[in-house]
Amino acid sequence: MNVLELYRRLPRTNCGACAQKACMPFAVALARGDATAEACPGLTEEQRGEIVGGSAKGDWRETVVAGLRAEVAGLPFAEIAPGLGASLREGAMLIRCLGREYRVAPDGAIDAAGAASPVAPWTKILLLHYVRTRGDAPPTGRWVAFTELKAALMKSKSFAREAEEPLRGLFDRDEGAAERALERLGAVREAGLPAPVAWRLDALPRIPVLVLYWPPEEEFASKCKVLFDATADRYLDVESLTFLIEGLAKNIEHGPDAAPHD
Neighbouring residues of 17: CB distance < 8 A, sequence distance ≥ 6: 40, 41, 42
123 and 160 together in one domain: no
245 and 151 together in one domain: yes
Is 227 contained in some domain?
yes
Is 108 contained in some domain?
yes
Among candidate residues 80, 102, 133, the one where a domain is terminated? 133
pLDDT of residue 261: 46
Q: Are 55 and 35 in contact (CB under 8 A)?
A: no
166 and 102 together in one domain: no
Give CA torsion, residues 235, 238, 239, 243, to 10 deg: 70
Q: What is the pLDDT of residues 119-160, one digit of tens each?
A: 888 899 999 999 999 887 889 999 999 999 998 988 899 899
219 and 157 together in one domain: yes
229 and 160 together in one domain: yes
Q: Are 243 and 32 in contact (CB under 8 A)?
A: no
Among candidate residues 103, 133, 163, the one where a domain is terminated? 133
Mean pLDDT of 69-79: 94
158 and 246 together in one domain: yes
Q: Are 137 and 231 in contact (CB under 8 A)?
A: yes
CATH of the domain at 9: 1.10.15.40
Is 261 contained in some domain?
no
Is 63 contained in some domain?
no
148 and 212 together in one domain: yes
- pTM beyond cutoff 0.85: no
pLDDT tier at 183 (50, 70, 90 boundaries)?
very high
Mean pLDDT score across all residues of the chain: 88
Where residue 99 falls (left for φ over 0; alpha for ψ -120 to 50; beta otherwise) is: left
233 and 147 together in one domain: yes
Q: What is the pLDDT of residues 100-110, one digit of tens each?
A: 999 999 999 99
Q: How far is CA 105 from CA 66, 68, 102, 115, 128, in A?
A: 14, 13, 10, 15, 11
Is 200 contained in some domain?
yes
126 and 169 together in one domain: no
Q: How far is CA 239 from CA 152, 217, 218, 222, 254, in A?
A: 9, 32, 35, 25, 22
123 and 153 together in one domain: no
What is the domain extent for residue 30?
A: 3-58
CATH of the domain at 181: 3.30.310
248 and 147 together in one domain: yes
DSSP track, 154-195: GGHHHHIIIIIHHHHHHHHH-HHHHHHHHHHTT-EE--SSSS
